[in-house]
Each structure stands twice: as structure tokens, then as C-alpha cells.
Amino acid sequence: MRTRSAIVCMDGDDHLETITVRDLQTGEEQAEKTSHVFVFIGAQPLTTWLDGQVARDDRGFVLAGPDLLHGGSRPPGWTPPRDPWPLETSVPGVFAAGDVRAASVKRVASAVGEGALAVTLIHQYLERL
Ligand SMILES: Cc1cc2nc3c(=O)[nH]c(=O)nc-3n(C[C@H](O)[C@H](O)[C@H](O)COP(=O)(O)OP(=O)(O)OC[C@H]3O[C@@H](n4cnc5c(N)ncnc54)[C@H](O)[C@@H]3O)c2cc1C
């Protein structure tokens, strides 16, 4: 297990033979023999455009539902006389579903399910306006 590391080079003739792993803290690079790599990219949230609008955790994932309550207190600026519903963000009536939500499962099936639930909750929210 290499934490804070990145593959910076992949070498081989007709198939992968060697990868170079860089330690992102020290900059030290080390070659490792391997013939297989599982590419797991694309898991970072692109949510900086929500700055100052929707509460996020320190990694940029959108906080929703019970994750917004700190010591039982509702998020700053929250006006409805109720706690945020599941999937509801710090902006009442705005819901987050799928990978972008903090503490979500990060799987296709759960993202689809959360999307369906969010639609139901939006209808519920609009009916109560
Ligand atoms: C490498 C990898 C392998 C995976 N393998 C599996 C697996 O085997 N099984 C499994 O169940 N799950 C797997 N997952 C997880 C799965 O892909 C996600 O859980 C799922 O795609 C989440 O769906 P989503 O709709 O929440 O987000 P996404 O699929 O990420 O969709 C979000 C979309 O929003 C777009 N977007 C972002 N910002 C903006 C913006 N400002 N304006 C407009 N559009 C924007 C993005 O381009 C993207 O198209 C894998 C993920 C990765 C990265």
C-alpha cells in the first residue's frame, strides 16, 4: 500500500512491464515490475463553483441531510422549521445525489437510487411551499 503516491511513468515493449511510482511528499521515484494496472481516476469532486453557496466537506463533497447537523445544530442560514431531509443540502430545496454527496456509496446503483429519491423529495418540497 503506497499512500500519497502517483504512477508517473509506464514502460514496456508489447505489454506493460514496469511502472514508476513517485512519492508525492519526498519526490523520490521507484520502478516496480508489473504487467497490470487498474486505472481509478475521476473520483475527485469538481465543486469549487459551489464555494460560499452549498456546504461541502474538506474534500469538496457536498454535505446533505444529517451530515449537515453539528451537535444537533442546523447549518448557518437554514430557515425552515425542520432538519434538512436526506439528500437535502445546506440550501433548502436543493438536493445532492450520487458520488458528489459526502459519505455516499460511490457505486452506480446507489447513485441512480439517490437520483430517484431526490426527485421524490423535490416533489415533496414543492408541495409544502
Ligand atoms: C475508475 C472508476 C471505476 C468504477 N467502477 C465502478 C464499478 O465497477 N461499479 C460501480 O457500481 N461503480 C463504479 N464506479 C463508481 C461509479 O462510476 C459512480 O458511482 C457513478 O458514476 C456515480 O454517478 P453520478 O451520476 O453520481 O456521478 P458521475 O457519473 O461522475 O456523473 C457526474 C456528471 O456530472 C458532470 N459534471 C461535473 N461537473 C459539472 C458541471 N459543473 N456542470 C455540468 N456537468 C458537470 C460530469 O462530467 C459527469 O458527467 C467507478 C468509478 C471510477 C472512477
Look at residue 43 and tell me whether its pLDDT is greater than 90. Answer: no
**Dist CA 103 CA 91 (whole Å):** 18
User: Averaged over 83-107, what is the pLDDT?
Assistant: 97
Q: Name which residue leads in pLDDT, 85 or 40.
A: 85
Give the chain's mean pLDDT: 96
* Residue among 54, 87, 95, 107 whose CB has most ligand 1 atoms within 8 A, to mutate: 107
The pTM score is 0.86
- For residue 40, the ligand 1 atom closest to its alpha carbon is 1
**Dist CA 16 CA 28 (whole Å):** 22
Task: Report which protein residue has its CA nearest ligand 1's atom 26.
Answer: 98
Domains of the chain are 1-41 (no CATH), 48-127 (3.50.50.60)
- Look at residue 4 in the predicted model and tell me its pLDDT: 96
**Distance from the alpha carbon of residue 110 to the mean position of ligand 1, in angstroms:** 11
- DSSP-based three-state secondary structure for 118: helix
* Banded model confidence at residue 41, pLDDT cuts 50, 70, 90: confident
Task: Report which protein residue has its CA nearest ligand 1's atom 13.
Answer: 107
Q: Tell me what percent of the residues of the chain surpass a pLDDT of 90.
A: 94
